Structure 1
């Protein structure tokens, strides 16, 4: 593969990255007896091609992939390291082009069943009449969950934007400003640093937004969000995160901020207070930091994921905070962290009962959090990278309570 890069505005994904990813996914395909993989989900296409233009990626198990571009061809040609690029007027052109390029249609083809709508699935079946489509999600996941050194550097760049934004929060938070107004302020600041604004998520029922601020008793309000914490949100139609409540002095304030830069995400939460933090909230905040560092020490290759979850629960129990940890007693979250990369929440999940072993290159947002019903929320979230011998923070924001 030869890169056709000539002075474009953004840095491309290195050609060596794309080649390595294609080789890895083809090995996975061969192991599962997949003849081909048809990618329609933008983050997956970007991961394996380097472009997120309006296109589709077709990968055979033993031949170079083909990128089918609907629009915009010149940008796709500049951005991708792939050499086989075919312009199309419609997705309906793809079957005949596959037959032209590979002399046949695949017998078995993988689709990302976790994100492909049922309507689209039936449409693809009509396009490839003699092809048996199967779930290719595990093949994609096996590649994407192990981050390369280049990807780690991208995530560190996103972490730097997050650190700078938390510094802006510390300097600009003030009493009587509404939760939503303050979120708008620090999101606008982060955009000046390159934050893309739009966060991506793997599951269609999960809401993603760059900020999640809960002040005072709003932090103690449970709700629909699949998280220990919820907040009021802006309406009954959007009942998550920041709302119209005005921030006050001497109350716990939890701010959760998601960053995306060059496609890669960071996800961090920190506690703030304007003035003095009540003792109960300060103790819970310090407990979350203790759990975070305990998990940092625990996370290393070969450790089962459910062991990380149980370790967190046991520390909360030791600190006599088990009832408030990870949600109210009848609404507890069953995970302590989630994979993160090209999507804010992606596999694998550090969940109760999950026996999958940690591997070098996995990256997780770890979020030990507490909810005190109708009182406040407390917690922290930082990004941790599993290395060859242990783990390390990818987050640059100091793991502390921000006293303002």
Structure 2
């Protein structure tokens, strides 16, 4: 089984410092200046939290919103949260509204005009991997006196580079995934259901400090896996593989960590497949270089995969992606990706092999360094975890 980073349960996650938030805003303003954007309107919970520290942006009925100008920062939030804002020490002007989405929209438009006036260029958190949380009335209101543009790339140019503070939270979140899997694995025996194992994993995650759990798959089988499906009452049988992909967070930072095991002793061919895919995954992690492109990383993977005699790659279109406050973030490690890999990026590398006997996958997570990459999680076990033998 894995060793773990922390022997005790994790306590409440630390909050980003004023200096941490100020550095993020400063970097965002540099990107805004290069793109000639006068004001950023941030509507998604992750973006609001990242650039202000305000954690209450995800309420669909009474939403919040952050406006970042060239000099000022404004938070539009429900008046019901007034007593929470000042104690948090947020470095922004609070604009409070009473009501629901129509009043939020009104306040947001009025605040944007007070910050930049007319004939401005406003960037919204829409675009690649950004769907925002706005509404047509908000866009219409902002567009009356400004040019509204997608600003996903501006935001990602800042967010893809992780600070030491963020890396600590990501490490903790990944550690929680490893601990839950290793703690629950000895409980597995023929006849347990996917749903019961899923519940045990959830209990362990919460008990040890996870602050949020999204629905995640726990799947039993030997082939033809439907990776996106929810756990069912399917019962574990000898010869089955147990496949999981964790979606929880600590301090808001997601784990997205895959783990696998087998019920009953595997064949020599299965052990060989496990070893080969693990080796390729780790070599890709070590071989990724700052300054190269994600397409280059994929080409390295292809070379290693073929050299290992592996052929049946699961066709997901990419073998890795970024991660952070969102479970999946840019960039994508894909064949034609021209995205440049930079020091400070967090990358999840997870090629998947399916055979007639099972599924072999290792989602390893690295922080790209200027000279050498750093694994953020204890590596997947050197030998295939086996239960019930």
TM-score, L = length of structure 2 = 0.86
Residue 280 of structure 1: aligned partner: 269
2:203 maps to 1:188: yes
Query: d(CA) in 2 for partners of 1:344 and 1:312?
Result: 22
Aligned to 2:6: none
Mean alpha-carbon deviation: is it higher for 77-86 or for 363-372?
77-86
Q: Are 1:154 and 2:169 an aligned pair?
A: yes
Q: Does 1:19 align with 2:26?
A: no
Indicate the residue corresponding to 1:95 in structure 2: 109
Q: 1:144 — aligned with what?
A: 159
Which piece of structure 1 moves more, 36-45 or 154-163? Answer: 154-163
126-135 or 136-145, which deviates more: 126-135
2: CA distance between counterparts of 1:18 and 1:371?
Answer: 43
Residues in 2 aligned to 1:261 and 1:213: alpha-carbon distance in whole angstroms: 20
* In 2: Cα distance, 1:281 partner to 1:85 partner: 58
- 1:41 is matched with 44
Secondary structure at 2:139's aligned position in 1?
A: helix
Partner of 1:381: 363
* Most deviating of 239-248 and 11-20: 239-248
| 1:213 to 2:196 alignment | no
Contact 1:51–1:80, Cα closer than 8 Å, also in 2:
no
In structure 2, relative to structure 1, the CA distance for the partners of 1:79 and 1:285 (3 Å cut) is farther
The whole-number CA distance in structure 2 between the counterparts of 1:383 and 1:103 is 41
RMSD over aligned Cα, in angstroms? Answer: 2.2
Listed one character per residue, the Cα deviations across residues 178-237 of structure 1 (whole Å, up to 9, x for unaligned) are: 1121111111211111223344xxxxxxxxx33x233233xx225xxxxxxx24xxxxxx
Q: Secondary structure at the match of 1:351?
A: coil
Q: Flag the 1:339–1:27 CA change in 2: closer, same or farther, 3 A.
A: same
CA offsets per residue over residues 80-127 of structure 1, 9 Å max, x none? Answer: 531322212221123333444x36246110002234479814532235
TM superposition shift of 1:156: 1.2
- In the TM superposition, 1:246-265 aligns within 5 A as 246-265=235-254
Counterpart pick for 1:82 among 74, 91, 106: 91
- Judge conservation of contact 1:301–1:387 (CA < 8 Å) in 2: yes
Does the Cα contact within 8 Å between 1:177 and 1:246 map onto a contact in 2? yes
| Paired position in structure 1 for 2:123 | 110
**How many residues align structurally?**
361
- Structure 1 residue runs without a partner (length 5+): 1-8, 200-208, 223-229, 232-238
Correspondence for 1:65: 73
Question: How many angstroms apart in 1 are the aligned matches of 2:111 and 2:351?
Answer: 50
Residue 75 and residue 10 in structure 1: after superposition, are their counterparts in 2 closer, same or farther (change >3 A)?
farther
Contact 1:95 1:128 in 2 (8 A): no
Instruction: Tell me, in whole angstroms, the C-alpha distance in 2 between the residues paired with 1:75 and 1:396.
Output: 38
Structure 1 pair 187–340 and aligned structure 2 pair: CA distance change class (3 A): same
**Alignment pair present for 1:393 and 2:375:** yes
Tell me the CA shift for residue 388 of structure 1.
2.2
Of 332-341 and 187-196, deviating more is 187-196
Task: Indicate how the Cα distance of structure 1 residues 221 and 79 shifts in structure 2: closer, same or farther if over 3 A, else same.
Answer: farther
Corresponding residue for residue 236 of structure 1: none
Distance 1:12 1:77, change over 3 A: farther
Displacement after TM superposition at 1:241 (Å): 4.6
**Which 5+ residue runs of structure 2 have no aligned equivalent?**
1-11, 57-62
- Name the counterpart of 1:175: 190
User: Are the counterparts in 2 of residues 98 and 105 from structure 1 also a CA contact under 8 Å?
Assistant: no
Inter-CA distance 194–263: structure 2 relative to 1 (3 Å threshold)? same
Rounded Cα–Cα distance in structure 2 between residues aligned with 1:346 and 1:129: 32
Aligned to 2:386: 403
**Equivalent position SS for 1:109:** strand
* Separation (CA, whole Å) in 2 of partners of 1:314 and 1:78: 54
Distance in 2 (alpha carbons) for counterparts of 1:26 and 1:103: 14
1:337 counterpart (320, 331, 347): 320
Distance 2:342 2:291 in 1: 7
- CA 1:190–1:117: 2 relative to 1, 3 Å: closer
The verdict on how the C-alpha distance between 1:177 and 1:69 changes in structure 2, with shifts beyond 3 A counting, is: same
Query: Residue 32 of structure 1 corresponds to which residue in structure 2?
Result: 35
d(CA) in 2 for partners of 1:60, 1:182: 48
Distance 1:119 1:360 in 2: 32
